[in-house]
Amino acid sequence: MHETMVAQSLLATILAEAEKQNAKPFRVKVSCGTFNVINDEILGLAFEAIAEDTACEGIELQVEHKPMSGKCNDCGAEFEFEFVRYGCSKCGSENFDLLPDAPLLLETIEFEME
């Protein structure tokens, strides 16, 4: 269900921008964080279904998953957090805070000019 709501929001935003640009969208890039998880396949199917008979029919939908980051409280380094390796990648300290997860974003819309 989450992906269907995301697909509906994406479609509305893309169609509004396509109307402003007077152009047909052909590729869209979306990004999300580790905990703001989107199932690419379900999102693609939901988007495909609701985009039928619109200017977005047949659009290429790309989803980029951004890794979680941490900040070491001992050495100050920011690092890509890995669930299998718990600690700062620079000094090895386990004294760190997780940084805010990347939000779900519509990064780019590419258009074919009509």
Q: Are 34 and 65 in contact (CB under 8 A)?
A: yes
Show the CA angle centred on residue 66, arms to residues 69 and 34, nearest 5°: 75
- Domain 2-113 classification at class level: alpha beta
Q: Per residue in 61-100, pLDDT tens?
A: 999 999 999 999 999 999 998 877 778 889 989 999 999 9
Q: What is the pLDDT of residue 36?
A: 78
Q: Per residue in 10-62, pLDDT tens? A: 999 999 999 999 999 999 999 999 887 789 899 999 999 999 999 999 999 99
Q: For position 1, what pLDDT does the model report?
A: 59
Tokens standing for residue 98: 């997780």
The pair of three-digit structure tokens given for residue 21, joined into one six-digit string: 């640009």
Query: What confidence score (pLDDT) does residue 34 get?
Result: 85
Give the mean model confidence (pLDDT) for residues 105-111: 96
Q: What is the largest CA-CA distance in the chain?
A: 56
The pLDDT score that the predictor gives to residue 50 is: 97
Consecutive H or E run containing 4 = helix 2-21
| Stretch (H or E) spanning 8 | helix 2-21
d(CA 74, CA 22): 53
The pLDDT of residue 9 is: 96
Q: What is the pLDDT of residue 25?
A: 97
Domain coordinates in residue numbering, the chain: 2-113
